[in-house]
Structure 1
Amino acid sequence: MPGYELPLGTCLDMCPANERTRREKECRLHRFEVAPGSPGDRPRADPQRAVKEYSRPAAGKARPPPSQLRPPSVLLATVRYLAGEVAERTDASRAEVASFVADRLRAVRLDLALQGAGDAEAALVLEAALAVLLAVVARLEPNASHGLADPMLLQAQVQESFGSLRRCYALGAGPHPRQATFQGLFLLYNLGELGLSRAQGQASLGTVKAPWRPFTRFCSCRPPCVPARRCAPPWQW
């Protein structure tokens, strides 16, 4: 619609209250979101831990109202919560952590796309979300059983995250101080894909055996850090 501007979200929680209630009734809370001390047969959501899950937009479905969308400041706080409180958990497998974080970051990107956030705010959220996603996926062992973590889905999420961020850079006025860093990460990530594609092409000719190693590239795409001093994680820049 010409001249139509998307509204900003107004939900100040990491997960809207109606979603918390609905998922409580449907017993679809992740264990990372359950309030301490709640009964095992009727777990209750902790508003400080529950994070909005991804829900695929359906054709003909009404756009969610602003009260169901988190504004950029809350989205950034959500990403930082996932980075600091979930990504570092030691009581869960890395696969479980990666699966949970990837889904919640996907919901972050969707909330951002459904509202009229400024270019600078959107870039900050997308950069932080991509950095966290790369970090949790890079920790997965290449040859381990990933259980809940679907390698192909995680790869798709990384590419989708890069795509959202690069579109934000292209459409925005800028400047974006960290654009060069993330453009470099994008090139490194896809250079690995290019090399693998070439190897697979040679393998099809019977010259090279090229096993599919879906997590090799993640381990080489961690955001750069200066070894001489301790630096803040990218989601705290």
Structure 2
Amino acid sequence: MERWQPRHGRRGRGRGSYSSSSFSQSNDSGPSNPSNRVRKTTTNLSNSVINNKQDHNDAEILPNLIGTCPFMCPIEERTQRERLRDLAIFERLNGNPSKSSSTLAVKKFCRTISSKDLRDMDLRPLQVLEDTLNYLLTIFESKEHPFEAIHDFIFDRTRSIRQDLSMQNIITGDQAVSMYERIVKFHIISHYKLRINATANSNVSPMHHLNMEQLTKTLASLYHIYDTNHKSGNTYDTEGEFYSFYVLLHLGSDHQPTGESLSLWFRSLPYSIIKSKEMMFSRRLLRYFRFGNYKCFLHAIETEASCLQYYVIEPYINEIRALGLACLNHGGYKLNPYPLVDICKILLLEEFDVESFCKDCGLDTFSSDEGIKFMPTKQTSFCYPKGSQRYYQLVSKRLKKFYNEVP
């Protein structure tokens, strides 16, 4: 997890281990295998939450730092990046690639930083970090540029914000909690949008993979901050939902090996979190998925999922739909084909999407003389969709507004 925590409550910062080593190591296998990718990221999150003490290295020899930089980007860095023409499109003054300003430039994430060269003026204090995050999330809502370009910029700059928070050991207080929660929301919305865009653009897939890594690391840091604030008697109404994201990231048949770690993780949670409405929903959804109860799974999402929970769950909806289609195909009578209009109600698909989804699963359909479309049962050609899948929205009046809320 991208966080350094000193011993004995001393302030300080880690070397490059929390940035370069953990990040590069997690990319060794690449994003080519989605199953390995998700298994690894969820396993890493389990290990980082349960074994966070392993991250508390080199605390005794690190300087005590309190940021004094009043700008979103230190002046020296901005000047250097202007000279190197290393300015993102959002940082350019009047579109000039070699000119920026204090109101446009935002500090970049640095994987390797020497503690010998680090100064207080290189770090931004809490209020400046919060203002910077507000500015970044304003860009996130912009429609003027392609989403991939917006995401790539904010992805890097929010990592830099987390880096400055970690170096100053800012892990208590409402501001720190709120900032980490908002960064988690950014990664979750990006997780949803990048997946949708990946079906049409193969170049988005690596971005989706890296975003998942940072989502899990930011969640792990947020859980650590929650624990720290609990010791001071502070709790937050949002904890139930943010803890539920961890459970929802374990959905899927390819995540079964992480089940033991998930069980251990449950034991470490306060009783109030376990019994929260959001956590009860996520645990019930996990059971539905692993037992193959596709009807209850889809119904629970349609009636109970929050906006952010739906964005996390969405990649697994087609998988459970395919299971439902397999049950209808194998369990039906050969002489009684299924009307597609009935299938769309069961799987919460649009009528015009049902035929396409059947084809994705290797199943044929036909039209009667009256123009009614059916799916024959007992077909032996069924297969689970592989590779890039078309995006199918979940038909729900309640969830429909969520589709329109995405920046």
Q: TM-score, normalised by structure 1?
A: 0.74
Bigger relative contact order (CA 8 A; separation at least 6): 1
2:90 matches 1:36? no
Change (3 A) 1:77 1:213: farther
Q: CA deviation at 1:88?
A: 2.1
Query: Any idea what the Cα deviations from partners look like across 1:2-40, whole Å, max 9, x if unmatched?
Result: 6743432111211111110011111111111001164x5
Deviates more, 1:64-73 or 1:13-22: 64-73
Instruction: Supply the AA of the counterpart residue of 2:222.
Output: L
Once residues 9 and 137 of structure 2 are traced to their aligned partners in structure 1, the CA distance between those partners, rounded to angstroms, is 37
Give secondary structure in 2 for the equivalent of 1:119.
coil
Deviates more, 1:63-72 or 1:28-37: 63-72
2:59 matches 1:5? no
2:246 matches 1:191? no
Whether the 8 Å contact between 1:52 and 1:107 is mirrored in structure 2 is yes
Residue in 1 aligned with 2:199? 143
In the alignment, which of 379, 386, 389 is matched to residue 211 of structure 1? 386
Q: CA deviation at 1:196?
A: 4.2
The structure with the greater share of residues assigned to helix is 2
2:141 matches 1:83? no
Instruction: Supply the AA of the counterpart residue of 1:165.
Output: L
Residue in 2 aligned with 1:204? none
Instruction: Supply the AA of the counterpart residue of 1:178.
Output: T
2:160 matches 1:107? yes
Q: Where in structure 1 are there 5+ consecutive unaligned residues?
A: 200-206
Give secondary structure in 1 for the equivalent of 2:118.
coil
Instruction: Supply the AA of the counterpart residue of 2:211.
Output: L
Give secondary structure in 1 for the equivalent of 2:250.
helix
Query: Any idea what the Cα deviations from partners look like across 1:163-221, whole Å, max 9, x if unmatched?
Result: 11111112333223322221122322x133x444358xxxxxxx96463669x9xx99x
Change (3 A) 1:179 1:3: closer
Once residues 216 and 254 of structure 2 are traced to their aligned partners in structure 1, the CA distance between those partners, rounded to angstroms, is 16
Whether the 8 Å contact between 1:76 and 1:128 is mirrored in structure 2 is no
Once residues 102 and 37 of structure 1 are traced to their aligned partners in structure 2, the CA distance between those partners, rounded to angstroms, is 21
Once residues 124 and 103 of structure 1 are traced to their aligned partners in structure 2, the CA distance between those partners, rounded to angstroms, is 19
Once residues 9 and 153 of structure 1 are traced to their aligned partners in structure 2, the CA distance between those partners, rounded to angstroms, is 28
Report matched runs for 1:1-237 at 5 Å: 4-6=10-12, 7-36=65-94, 38=96, 43-58=98-113, 61-62=115-116, 64-84=118-138, 86-120=139-173, 121-140=175-194, 141-145=197-201, 147=203, 150-173=207-230, 174-188=234-248, 190-192=249-251, 194-197=252-255, 209=384, 211=386
Residue in 2 aligned with 1:202? none
Once residues 89 and 225 of structure 2 are traced to their aligned partners in structure 1, the CA distance between those partners, rounded to angstroms, is 34
Change (3 A) 1:195 1:163: same
Q: Where in structure 2 are there 5+ consecutive unaligned residues?
A: 1-6, 13-64, 257-318, 320-381
Once residues 98 and 47 of structure 1 are traced to their aligned partners in structure 2, the CA distance between those partners, rounded to angstroms, is 21
- Point out the structure with max Rg over C-alpha: 2
Once residues 171 and 193 of structure 2 are traced to their aligned partners in structure 1, the CA distance between those partners, rounded to angstroms, is 32
Once residues 102 and 159 of structure 2 are traced to their aligned partners in structure 1, the CA distance between those partners, rounded to angstroms, is 19
Q: Percent identity?
A: 23
Change (3 A) 1:147 1:20: farther
Once residues 147 and 34 of structure 1 are traced to their aligned partners in structure 2, the CA distance between those partners, rounded to angstroms, is 25
Instruction: Supply the AA of the counterpart residue of 1:89.
Output: S
Change (3 A) 1:177 1:66: farther
Whether the 8 Å contact between 1:95 and 1:147 is mirrored in structure 2 is no
Once residues 106 and 189 of structure 2 are traced to their aligned partners in structure 1, the CA distance between those partners, rounded to angstroms, is 19
Whether the 8 Å contact between 1:98 and 1:137 is mirrored in structure 2 is no
C-alpha RMSD of matched pairs (Å)? 3.4
Query: Any idea what the Cα deviations from partners look like across 1:88-129, whole Å, max 9, x if unmatched?
Result: 222321111111111111111111000032512321221122
Whether the 8 Å contact between 1:8 and 1:116 is mirrored in structure 2 is no
Once residues 118 and 63 of structure 1 are traced to their aligned partners in structure 2, the CA distance between those partners, rounded to angstroms, is 24
